[in-house]
């Protein structure tokens, strides 16, 4: 038998009854412990899929045992048993990390069903762990996750272009990983020990972008009170990544063409040119050939940029990678947010792999972050990220909520609503609180107060 349960109870008759009946019905091995101390001694040298523990025991009680298990073995599934009159204690146990609780005296068939579900959770945790290990071993390339044929071709292209020192143009929809690709090219190139400078072109007005890229001399314009070194000079010897280059204006396009042709720049207000040794890596989510036809992008600059083109596939074109990516992001952000490592439920993983991700990996990442922050258990479910099988909003009241007092249930429901609603706005505005407030009709300060109350961090949604 592959599955195993440890039952902890100070009543010998109960231990024997459960061991005799559960082993054949659940198809698993069952061991018993008559105290919390004995249970920890057994757990210290043997792995189990599930611990079924009574709350009321002499010495180390069930809650103390739960706390110790969660601190030392956070992935282990624990189900608590309690007398009928101790429901509040059982609810507290679930808040502290128990997967479920069962009241005594219990219906045997109901007990078997609930333990089967708990064992399914353990199985899912094992599978997620296996996926993470597989991901770490064979499917992570320079922080880019993928095992699909489409991504293997991308990885091969990155290896090939990194060896050369020619200009690279990375194309793909927003959120497909263009900056990660650029970093991978730089880190595998002979310039890897030199600077890697990133410029987000759409966020900088053209007149400022020109001075940022090429620098300026004192007195070049009204507020130029001293000389300024441009980003191309900062990147001398290394690489410069021009993100979303399709948004730059004609004046900067002309100067970029000069850099590519002559390997030199001319700071604003200077009469002399400065030689620079920089590899240019550019990206765009736009159709540059269409912009050329419209007279919005220089054709000669396009062909200078796209010497070595790399096209990144949309997430919908590599759905087999989604479980790997989701688990990679889950582990990354649990650590970043200082949260215990969680798992993704089978239902949610099915939805993630079939959903059409318009925002690609960035949108998936935002959903994973929401799930980590808003799930109340060790498992992230569809309602935790505001999606359901038919695309409807998450239900306002979950099964666990009915076990709470009215005041607690109301607060829990409000937290779920605000998490889903405000999370959607912040995802749409990429973490811009001012724009989110405008969309929902609140003053910025009012929205910030709600976000503080329900621990919603705008930073989690920013690019």
CA 306 – CA 166 distance, rounded (Å): 9
Strand, coil or helix: 331: helix
Cα gap 157→310, rounded to integer Å: 7
Break the chain into its structural domains and give their ranges: 4-137, 149-312, 316-461
Q: State how far the Cα of 447 lies from the Cα of 444, in Å rounded to an integer.
A: 5
Q: Give the three-state DSSP class for 340.
A: coil
Q: Please give the full DSSP string across 168-222, using - where no structure is assigned.
A: EEEE--TTS-HHHHHHHHHHTSTTTTS-EEEEEGGGS-HHHHHHHHH-B-TTSST
Q: What is the pLDDT of residues 12-21, one digit of tens each?
A: 999 999 999 9
Q: Say if CB 343 and CB 163 are below 8 A apart.
A: no
Percent above pLDDT 70 for the chain: 92
Nearest one of 463, 458, 380, 450 to 423, comparing CA atoms: 458
Report the topology of domain 149-312. Answer: Rossmann fold (3.40.50)
Cis ω for the linkage preceding 105 (within 30 of 0): yes
Q: What is the mean pLDDT of the chain?
A: 86
Q: Treating both helix axes as pointing N-terminal to C-terminal, what angle do 87-95 and 62-72 enclose, rounded to 10 degrees?
A: 10
User: Given this model, what pLDDT does residue 134 score?
Assistant: 57
Angstrom distance (rounded) from CA 378 to CA 94 = 10
Tell me the CATH architecture of domain 316-461.
Answer: Orthogonal Bundle (1.10)
CB 354 within 8 A of CB 382: no
From the list 241, 243, 275, 281, the residue with the least C-alpha distance to 259 is 275
Query: Among the ranges 86-90, 112-116, 220-224, 409-413, which has the highest mean pLDDT value?
Result: 112-116
Do the domains 316-461 and 4-137 match in fold? no
By mean pLDDT, which of 185-199, 208-222, 384-398 is the weakest?
384-398
Higher-pLDDT residue of 103, 40: 40
HSE, side-chain direction, 13 A CA sphere, residue 451:
24
Residue 457 is classified by DSSP as -
pLDDT band at residue 131 under the 50/70/90 scheme: low
Judged by DSSP in three states, 251 sits in helix
Q: Residue 377: is its pLDDT beyond 80?
A: yes
Q: Looking at residues 93-99, what average pLDDT do you find?
A: 83
DSSP H helical ranges for 355-432: 360-374, 406-428
> What's the first-to-final CA gap in the chain, in angstroms?
47
Within 8 A by CB and 6+ apart from 361, the residues are 175, 176, 177, 315, 325
Q: pLDDT > 90: what percent of the chain? A: 44
pLDDT tens column, 216-269? 888 777 777 788 888 999 999 999 999 999 999 998 999 999 999 999 998 888
The helix-helix angle for 406-428 and 433-440 (nearest 10°) equals: 110
**pLDDT tens for residues 388-420?**
544 334 444 555 566 677 777 777 777 777 877
How does DSSP assign 348-408, residue by residue?
Answer: HHHHHHHS--TTHHHHHHHHHHHHHHH-SSSEE-GGGGT--TTSPPPPSS-TGGGGS-HHH
Q: What tokens does 95 get?
A: 């808040």
Provide mean pLDDT across the span 175-191.
95
The CATH class of 4-137 is alpha beta
Q: What is the pLDDT of residue 97?
A: 84
pLDDT for the residue 396? 47
């Amino acid at each position: 038998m592959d599955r195993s349960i440890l039952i902890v109870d100070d009543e010998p008759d109960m231990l024997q009854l459960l061991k005799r009946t559960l082993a054949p019905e659940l198809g698993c091995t069952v061991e018993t412990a008559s105290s919390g101390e004995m249970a920890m001694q057994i757990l210290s040298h043997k792995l189990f899929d599930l611990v079924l523990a009574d709350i009321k025991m002499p010495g180390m009680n069930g809650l103390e045992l739960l706390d110790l298990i969660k601190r030392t073995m956070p992935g282990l599934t624990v189900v608590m048993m309690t007398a009928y009159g101790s429901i509040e204690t059982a609810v507290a146990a679930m808040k502290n990390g128990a997967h479920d609780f069962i009241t005594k005296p219990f219906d045997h068939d109901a007990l078997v069903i609930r333990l089967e579900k708990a064992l399914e959770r353990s199985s899912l945790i094992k599978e997620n762990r296996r996926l993470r290990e597989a991901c770490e071993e064979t499917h992570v390339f320079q922080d880019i996750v993928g095992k699909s044929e489409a991504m293997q071709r991308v990885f091969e292209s990155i290896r090939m272009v990194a060896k050369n020192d020619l200009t690279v143009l990375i194309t793909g929809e927003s959120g497909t990983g263009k900056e990660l690709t650029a970093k991978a090219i730089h880190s595998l190139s002979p310039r890897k020990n030199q600077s890697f400078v990133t410029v987000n072109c759409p966020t900088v007005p053209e007149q400022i972008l020109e001075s940022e890229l090429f620098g300026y001399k004192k007195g070049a314009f009204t507020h130029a009170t001293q000389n300024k070194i441009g980003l191309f000079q900062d990147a001398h010897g290394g690489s410069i990544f021009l993100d979303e280059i399709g948004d730059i204006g004609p004046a900067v396009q002309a100067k970029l063409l000069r850099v590519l042709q002559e390997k030199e720049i001319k700071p604003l207000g200077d009469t002399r040119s400065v030689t620079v040794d920089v590899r240019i890596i550019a990206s765009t989510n736009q159709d540059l050939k269409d912009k050329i036809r419209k007279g919005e992008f220089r054709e000669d600059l396009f062909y200078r940029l796209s010497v070595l083109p790399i096209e990144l596939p949309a997430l919908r074109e590599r759905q087999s990678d989604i479980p790997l990516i989701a688990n990679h992001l889950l582990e990354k952000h649990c650590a970043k947010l200082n949260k215990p490592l969680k798992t993704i439920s089978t239902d949610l993983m099915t939805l993630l792999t079939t959903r059409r991700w318009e925002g690609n990996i960035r949108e998936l990442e935002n959903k994973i972050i929401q799930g980590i922050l808003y799930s109340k258990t060790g498992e992230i479910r569809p309602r935790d990220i505001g999606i359901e099988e038919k695309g409807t909003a998450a239900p306002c009241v979950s099964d666990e909520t009915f076990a709470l007092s009215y005041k607690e249930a109301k607060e829990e429901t409000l937290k779920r609503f605000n998490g889903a609603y405000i999370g959607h706005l912040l995802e749409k505005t990429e973490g811009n609180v001012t724009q989110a407030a405008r969309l929902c009709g609140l003053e910025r300060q009012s929205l910030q107060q709600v976000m503080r109350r329900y621990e919603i961090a705008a930073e989690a949604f920013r690019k």
